[in-house]
Amino acid sequence: MKPLLLLTLGAALASAQSATTTFMKDINGNRVEGQSFTSTDGERTERFQSINGRQVPLEQQVDRVVREDANGKVTERIVRKFNPNGQLASTERVLIEENKLPGGGSSVRATTYRNDVNGSFHEAERQTTETRVAGSTSTANTVIDRPTLNGSFETIEKRSEITEGSAANQRSTESVYRRDGTGGFQEALRYVKTASKVNDTTTESTANYEPGVNGQLRLASQSESAITKQPDGTELIQTNLYSQTVVGRLQDNDAPMRIKEQQIVERRTKPDGSVVETFSVRRPSISDPNRLGELQKLSETVCRGKCQPEKPTPADTSKDTTKSATGNSRP
């Protein structure tokens, strides 16, 4: 999450549903402003501090509902991306069509158009996801098509995610399939996630599998998180990240996982309604890769307005395990 600069963004809060800004320390230890976000209904703008100290836009996303009825919803999303000087660099138009399927499932089709140097839009990607629900198990199958050199569309990736269990005890497995040398599809990545909740503590674990030297999938990284609600309302999130390679030391492919970083996030609500989130890490040193060093505070974020975690959008397919409690990426 990103802290808010009160004097700069205070006036914007009259119309913004939320405004956040992240503060970090520079190489001299001085507190400096980093990225900031403002969000209203259907619009989200991300800014960062340029070399000359000005806040310039980085990305802007605007959603407009074209149609919504009992059968589904159609949303037009405009994504504008800017260069380091704050000048518009590219624009994307995404048409998201959501439809209900018999039996409680759903279908989401996202068609992306990108502009060229002349400002004309061309179809760049088609992504279709169908979700089926049977009891406590849901299955989501995604197909991603992109144009080839001759202009025709071809499937370049497929995804299959199976989620089982209730919210209190859930397991999901997602497989990513990509084309191999023969033109067929082979499992290229796998993500396995489990989550459980007991009283005021939620625990989550993830395991990421990638191809090894022989081409077979092998465990590449792991993470374990514990999210605890304190009696005073403070939320504490401790995440341990594991890898076979830590602090620049290469290890054998069969070497056990070692902890490469421990992340501590503390999220609290102040009396004025603003939400403050601090992000700190502990990392092993080169001299002793088996022992974590001192806790270092990397950033502080303040949010005013609607500061709840953002729901993933239908067109999102990327994995990002470093999202903060307010939905923004951590440094």
Condensed to tens digits (0 to 9), the pLDDT of residues 211-240 reads 988 889 999 999 999 999 988 889 999 999
pLDDT in tens, 274-303: 999 999 999 988 888 788 999 999 999 999
For 13-22, the pLDDT digits (tens) are: 444 588 998 9
Q: Could you tell me the pLDDT band of residue 308, with boundaries at 50, 70 and 90?
A: low
Residues 183-191: contacts with CB under 8 Å, at least 24 apart: 185/158, 187/217, 189/217, 190/217, 191/319
Could you tell me if 265 and 277 are in contact, meaning their C-beta atoms sit under 8 angstroms apart? yes
Residue 62: pLDDT over 90:
yes
Residue 7: its H or E element: helix 6-9
- Sorted by sequence, the CB contacts under 8 Å of residue 108 that are 6+ apart come out as 96, 97, 98, 99, 128, 129, 131, 314, 315
Q: Name the amino acid, one letter, at 273.
A: G
CA 40 – CA 304 distance, rounded (Å): 12
Q: Which helix (H) or strand (E) holds 166?
A: strand 153-166
**Which of these, 210, 329, 167, lies nearest to 263 by C-alpha position?**
329
Find the range with the poorest average confidence among 166-175, 197-206, 209-218, 316-325: 316-325
List of long-range contacts for 122-129, beta carbons under 8 Å, 24+ apart: 123/147, 123/153, 124/92, 126/153, 127/315, 127/317, 129/314
144 DSSP assignment? E
| Whether residue 305 has pLDDT greater than 90 | no
Range in 61-75, 118-132, 162-176, 274-288 the model is least confident about: 274-288
Q: What is the mean pLDDT of residues 33-46?
A: 88
Q: Which structure tokens are listed for 277? A: 């989130």
Contact call for residues 280 and 293 (beta carbons, < 8 A): no
Q: Tell me the residue type at 243.
A: S
For the stretch 148-164, pLDDT in tens is: 988 899 999 999 999 99
User: Is the per-residue pLDDT at 53 higher than 80?
Assistant: no
Helix (H) or strand (E) holding 8: helix 6-9
**Range name among 13-17, 67-71, 180-184 with the lowest pLDDT average:** 13-17
**Looking at the predicted structure, is the pLDDT value of residue 147 above 90?**
yes
Say what the pTM is: 0.81
Structure tokens at 240: 């341990």
Average pLDDT for the chain: 85
Contact 321, 223 (CB under 8 A): yes
**pLDDT at 208 exceeding the cut of 50:** yes
For residue 177, give the nearest of 156, 195, 198 by alpha carbon. Answer: 156
Residue with structure tokens 């492919």?
253
CA 83 to chain centroid:
22
Report the percent of the chain where pLDDT is more than 90.
58
For the residues 165-194, what does the mean pLDDT come to?
94
Q: Which of 69, 70, 92, 95 is nearest to 82 (CA)?
A: 92
Using pLDDT thresholds of 50, 70 and 90, give the confidence band for residue 60.
very high
